[in-house]
Structure 1
Amino acid sequence: MTKLKIASIPGDGIGTEVVPAAIDVLKTVSDIHGGLSFEFTEFPYSCEYYLEHGSMMPEDGLERLKEFDAIFLGAVGNAKLVPDHVSLWGLLIKLRREFEQVINVRPAKIFSGVRSPLVNPKDFDLIVVRENSEGEYSSVGGRIYQGEEEIAIQNAIFSRRGTERVMRYAFELAAKRNRHVTSATKSNGIVHSMPFWDEVFKDVSRDYPEIQTDSQHIDALAAFFVTNPSRFDVIVASNLFGDVLTDIGAAVMGSIGIAPAANINVNGKYPSMFEPVHGSAPDIIGKGIANPIGQIWTAKMMLDHFGEEEIGSVLLEVVESVTHDGILTPDIGGKHSTTEVTTEIITRLKARA
């Protein structure tokens, strides 16, 4: 029996609705799997916690969380209560950085029954592998002077170690899929970091002669995501470029509410963290219509991370059978509630047992 200790952080907004739904699904997976069990411990870290305690998590929060096998996160942010830069850097980004979650993985695919805004999306199935620790989101820089003389400097940091690491992860992933990696670059406009990125990509690709490669400037790549996403398999990108591309990927699927993500620690020192792409969705909090699929697909990625790829594939097949039959939340054209969609997924999982 494999027993996994999972730290659950519902966080803010609809995170408090979709995380319990996904946990119910994971418990069903455990019941039908036999050799797998989960032990969930919930932590209240959120904007509400900040208002009460003056921080997004306690001083020993990281010490508490590092003892778990993984972190299952819902959503972070409520700008009406706490500025976004405070909530994100106090919880989400803090966890990513302190736990060395250096790679972010976000898939996007056409879902049966979910209408893409594209006229002819074909059967696209792609994964963006994003460098998650440095790049354009490095916290190096500052501001000087005031008024008209004020200057803001933001430095993008690209290390060979970090760049090569994310590229090798992308190549290894492509080897299990359709054997193609696309590099997102902008070396015709960003004259130092992006030529460096291109050089490392060329160096790494020599170690994977069986993998086909191409390199696309980010502006053209973003356009191709809209005009022909089915041409892509695995895309490797810097922190900023990967962030932008994955929101486009979610959009062409039909809703950001179904998009999952994984923040991967590759050295085994700390837990990886799994979270959907969507935010806290303040406009639908408490209405019972939040789409649970993003969180449930994220649960599937967590299963994959622990080597349970077979049951993870079954889970995603069941989810897609539910969407195929029109059991959808309002964000993707349906009329069903969070609970109704979750219950149907659980019922069909049990029927597959």
Structure 2
Amino acid sequence: MNTYKIAVIAGDGIGKEVVPAAIEVLDEVAKLDGSFQFEWTYFPWGCDYYLEHGVMMPEDGLETLKQYDQIFLGAVGMPELVPDHISLWGLLIKIRRGMKQSINVRPAKLLAGLESPLKNPQNFDITVVRENSEGEYSDSGGRMHSGSDEIAIQNAVFTRKATERAMRYAFELAKNSKGHVTSATKSNGLTYSMPFWDEVFDDVKKDYPEVQSVSNHIDALAAFFVMKPHAFNVIVASNLFGDILTDLGGAIMGSIGIAPAANLNIEREYPSMFEPVHGSAPDIAGKGIANPIGQIWTGKMMLDFLGHSNAGDRVLNAIETTLASGIKTGDLGGTANLEEVKNAIIENLKNDTMIM
């Protein structure tokens, strides 16, 4: 039996509630499968840790995490006490960069039992591949002067290596899906970075003649997410564009609380990190009403990455069965609390007749 050593960082706010719920679900599907199990190690890093120690994680935190197979993260942020640029760059982005998690994958699909806010969503099923290491989120720039002369400069840095890596990953996904890739660009407004992005995309697509491809400007693409999301398969986007599109993807599913994500070290040299798209939601933290589905679906993505796609499919099937039965948290229009949703998913796992 395979034993996977998983580093758990519940983080802040509702992360401390949804992560334990997802772990219960993952332990249950592992028991049902019988070929693997998890060994969880918990780390108290996050904003509470920062308020006590002055750092979001210990100085040797990255070296510690390298000892694990994967990282399971809840949420980061306590903006009323810790500025977001400190919490994110001190933990989340530090791990992404330190573990060379160059690809961020975020699916958005119309789940059974959910009503999209869109009038006619037509069972959309989209995967956004987001370049995760540079672009608009590059730590390049600075501030100078003060008062009316103050200047802030933020540089977006694009390399051919990272851009091509994200695009090739998107085309490989599309080969095993509906065979279509859309590139998110803005070359009619950004005079250097996006024409470069377009040129790399044109080069890469030549190696995938069996995959259809198109480029859409990001503003039009955001509109198309609302008007015709069913028209898309795999979308490849820069760091910022992918971030914005995937929040919109959560919205058209019905709630950002159900949207999952994976930060992948595709070379498998370092652990990858799995986290939901939603934030720490301090306004509802501690009330037991947070939606655990985003974290649980994120666990399904971790199962897929570990090579247990059958178990992952079983988790997603249990999620959809639960939603179809009407057991939903308040953000989805239901009345169930976190515990009730988690318990229903576990019960549906046990009752699932899928062959493992």
Considering the TM-score relative to the shorter chain, is it more than 0.5?
A: yes
Partner residue in 1 for 2:175: 175
> Secondary structure at the residue paired with 1:137?
coil
Instruction: After TM superposition, give the deviation of residue 267 of structure 1 in Å.
Output: 2.0
Instruction: After TM superposition, give the deviation of residue 277 of structure 1 in Å.
Output: 0.3
Partner residue in 1 for 2:213: 213
Q: Structure 2 matches for 1:135-150, cutoff 5 A? A: 135-150=135-150
> Secondary structure at the residue paired with 1:122?
coil
Partner residue in 1 for 2:280: 280
Instruction: After TM superposition, give the deviation of residue 352 of structure 1 in Å.
Output: 2.3
Partner residue in 1 for 2:296: 296
Which residue identity is paired with 2:224?
F
Deviation digits for residues 147-193 of structure 1, max 9, x if unmatched? Answer: 11111111110000000000000001111110000000011111111
| CA distance in structure 2 between the aligned counterparts of 1:99 and 1:208, rounded to whole angstroms | 29
Is 2:267 the counterpart of 1:267?
Answer: yes
> Secondary structure at the residue paired with 1:246?
helix
Partner residue in 2 for 1:240: 240
Partner residue in 2 for 1:108: 108
- Structure 2: state its 5+ residue gaps: none
Partner residue in 2 for 1:164: 164
Partner residue in 2 for 1:311: 311
| CA distance in structure 1 between the aligned counterparts of 2:54 and 2:288, rounded to whole angstroms | 29
> Secondary structure at the residue paired with 1:209?
coil
Partner residue in 1 for 2:256: 256
Q: Structure 2 matches for 1:1-353, cutoff 5 A? A: 1-352=1-352
Which residue identity is paired with 1:184?
A
- Structure 1: state its 5+ residue gaps: none
Which residue identity is paired with 2:308?
E
| CA distance in structure 2 between the aligned counterparts of 1:249 and 1:55, rounded to whole angstroms | 33
The answer to whether the 8 A contact 2:5-2:38 is kept is: yes
Which residue identity is paired with 1:26?
L
> Secondary structure at the residue paired with 1:223?
helix
Moved over 6 A (4+): none
What percent of counterpart residues are identical? Answer: 66
Which residue identity is paired with 1:351?
N
Q: CA RMSD in A?
A: 0.8
Which residue identity is paired with 1:293?
I
| CA distance in structure 2 between the aligned counterparts of 1:212 and 1:318, rounded to whole angstroms | 33
Deviation digits for residues 68-120 of structure 1, max 9, x if unmatched? Answer: 01000000000122111111110001000111111100000011222211111
Deviation digits for residues 258-278 of structure 1, max 9, x if unmatched? Answer: 000000012222100000000
The answer to whether the 8 A contact 2:250-2:259 is kept is: yes
**More displaced stretch, 105-114 vs 126-135:** 105-114
> Secondary structure at the residue paired with 1:135?
coil
| CA distance in structure 1 between the aligned counterparts of 2:348 and 2:189, rounded to whole angstroms | 51
Instruction: After TM superposition, give the deviation of residue 138 of structure 1 in Å.
Output: 0.4
> Secondary structure at the residue paired with 2:139?
strand
| CA distance in structure 2 between the aligned counterparts of 1:152 and 1:269, rounded to whole angstroms | 36
Instruction: After TM superposition, give the deviation of residue 124 of structure 1 in Å.
Output: 0.2
**More displaced stretch, 77-86 vs 270-279:** 77-86
> Secondary structure at the residue paired with 1:3?
strand
| CA distance in structure 1 between the aligned counterparts of 2:318 and 2:145, rounded to whole angstroms | 57
Report the TM-score when normalising by structure 1: 0.99
Instruction: After TM superposition, give the deviation of residue 350 of structure 1 in Å.
Output: 1.3
> Secondary structure at the residue paired with 1:73?
strand
Which residue identity is paired with 1:150?
E
- Kindly tell me the number of residue pairs found equivalent between the two proteins: 353
Which residue identity is paired with 2:130?
R
Instruction: After TM superposition, give the deviation of residue 14 of structure 1 in Å.
Output: 0.4
The answer to whether the 8 A contact 2:30-2:311 is kept is: no
The answer to whether the 8 A contact 2:130-2:236 is kept is: yes
| CA distance in structure 1 between the aligned counterparts of 2:262 and 2:146, rounded to whole angstroms | 40
Instruction: After TM superposition, give the deviation of residue 348 of structure 1 in Å.
Output: 1.2
| CA distance in structure 2 between the aligned counterparts of 1:114 and 1:334, rounded to whole angstroms | 11
Which residue identity is paired with 1:209?
P
**More displaced stretch, 140-149 vs 41-50:** 140-149
